[in-house]
Amino acid sequence: MRVKTGVFGLDPLLSGGFLPNTINVVLGGTGVGKTIFTLQYVLQGLKNKECCLFVSFDMDEDDVIKTAENMGWDVRSYIEYGLLKIGKFIVEDITFLNNELINFILKSANGNVRIVIDSFTPLLSTPDYNVRKEVNWFFEQLRRVGTTVITIEEPLSGNLDVPSITLPAFLCDCLIHMKRLGYGEILDRTLRIVKHRNSWHAEGVFPYRIFKGLGIVVDSKHYVENIRKKMELTDIFSEEEVKSTPKELLEKIEMALMESFYHDEEVKHMIRWVVECYREFTKS
């Protein structure tokens, strides 16, 4: 079962959405739509009557409500009903992860929850020898209570080789990089899935646009139309060289294809290659 992102056109690129109980980082500079991304993720959960937590270090409850309303979304009723809880915090140092913030999350969590931290960058602004250990511990606590989306601010310099980026990018389960290229129109903003641990994900750069009422819409239609899930395997499996392969290996191949997206020709090539490799393995 996948956790739907709420972002139009993104889930097919993630094999259906985020994996449950994972840490998912959204990296990008100012103006790419990171907060809009997190609000869409939260709204998807709220519509399903899931408990959602929104943690911020520069926006209070009123700011979050106004940001959502500017996009044409109502979150006020969910706050009043208790499904959406918003917490604003002031960060002093990295030990903040181990006390106030995690206590708020654990206390507010009701079952398996959707968690947003927008943005995580202030927590990593001060170099500290124990930062990696603290962040790793914090991520493990988050995985216990729900599925988390964390935003990371990309420096204006574009230098991604800094601890505030490399550390969460390394420790997270999924990393999505959003960029604003400045070309205008459809190519103004693009999105790339850098990694999706333990899951297939689409390769490449995908344009997206932001619309009031809809939010982020990723233009993945052409990509999705050119791939097939659970394709018919009868023809390729009936080939003589494949048919003589042990049933156990064929079942593994079929399982791999059922969980992934492939172009037709890629499937045929992959199956033949696996069978050929297997024969090499079994040569005496």
Are residue 138 and residue 267 in the same domain, yes or no? no
| Same structural domain, 50 and 110 | yes
154: Cα separation from own chain's centroid = 17
Domain co-membership, 255 together with 159: no
Cis peptide before 119 (omega within 30 of 0): yes
- Mean pLDDT (whole number) for 107-115: 88
Confidence of residue 76 (pLDDT cuts 50, 70, 90): very high
The arithmetic mean of pLDDT across residues 226-254, rounded, is: 65
Taking each continuous run of H as one helix and of E as one strand, the counts in the chain are: 11, 9
Look at residue 142 and tell me if it is in a domain.
yes
**Phi/psi of residue 149, nearest 5 degrees:** -115, 125
Across the beta sheet with 189-196, the strand order is 84-88, 52-56, 113-118, 146-153, 23-28, 174-180, 189-196, 205-211, 215-218
Work out the pLDDT band at 251, boundaries 50, 70, 90: confident
Count of alpha carbons within 13 Å of 31, Cβ hemisphere only? Answer: 7
* Domain contains 257: yes
Average pLDDT in the 128-143 region? 84
Q: Which structural domain range is residue 238 located in?
A: 234-282
Do 184 and 263 reside in the same domain of the chain?
A: no
In a domain, 158, yes or no: yes
- CA separation for the pair 139, 275 (Å, rounded): 40
By CB atoms closer than 10 A (0-12, 13-18, 19+), residue 81 is exposed
Mean pLDDT, all residues of the chain: 84
Is 167 a residue whose pLDDT tops 90?
no
Percent of the chain with pLDDT over 90: 48
Q: Which two tokens stand for residue 183?
A: 């070309």
Model pLDDT for residues 81-106, shown as the tens digit of each residue: 999 999 998 876 666 666 788 888 98
In a domain, residue 2? The reply is: no
Assess whether 161 and 56 both reside in one domain: yes
Angle of the 131-145 helix axis to the 163-171 helix axis, nearest 10: 40
Q: How far apart are CA 195 and CA 80, in angstroms?
A: 37
38, 53, 100, 122, 135 from 92: Cα distances, Å: 24, 21, 11, 9, 15
Please indicate, yes or no, if residue 154 is contained in any of the structural domains. yes
Last residue within a domain, chosen from 225, 242, 268:
225
One domain for residues 247 and 218: no
211 and 268 both lie in a single domain: no
Per residue in 181-208, pLDDT tens?
877 666 689 999 999 999 999 988 999 9
Question: Is 61 contained in some domain?
Answer: yes
66 and 120 together in one domain: yes
pLDDT above 70: residue 150: yes
CB-based contact 140:173 (threshold 8 Å): no
Confidence class for position 142, pLDDT limits 50, 70, 90: very high
CATH number at residue 78: 3.40.50.300
Band of pLDDT at residue 263, cut at 50, 70 and 90: low
| Shared-domain flag, residues 184 and 273 | no
Number of domains into which the chain is organized: 2
- pLDDT value of residue 20: 96
Distance CA 47, CA 64 (A): 17
CB-CB contact of 73 with 212 (8 Å): no
| 243 lies in some domain | yes
**pLDDT score recorded for residue 275:** 76
Tell me which of 181, 199, 225 is where a domain ends: 225
Cα(201)–Cα(17) distance, rounded to whole angstroms? Answer: 10
The residue that leads in pLDDT, 36 or 124, is 36
**pLDDT of amino acid 230:** 45
Structure tokens at 186: 């459809």
The pair of three-digit structure tokens given for residue 108, joined into one six-digit string: 């507010």
Cβ contacts of residue 79 below 8 Å, gap of 6+?
61, 65, 85, 86
pLDDT at residue 45, rounded to an integer: 96
Alpha helices, H only, the chain = 34-47, 61-70, 76-81, 100-108, 131-145, 163-171, 221-225, 234-237, 240-243, 247-258, 264-282
Co-location of 203 and 265 in the same domain = no
| Per-residue confidence (pLDDT) for residue 94, from 0 to 100 | 64
pLDDT score for 8: 93
Whether 24 is covered by a domain: the verdict is: yes
User: Are residues 99 and 186 both part of a single domain?
Assistant: yes
Q: Is the CB of residue 75 less than 8 Å from the CB of residue 81? A: no
pLDDT in tens, 9-42: 999 999 999 999 999 999 999 999 999 999 999 9
Looking at the structure, tell me whether residues 245 and 266 fall in a common domain.
yes
What letter does residue 18 receive in the DSSP assignment?
Answer: B
pLDDT category at 229 given cuts 50, 70, 90 is: very low
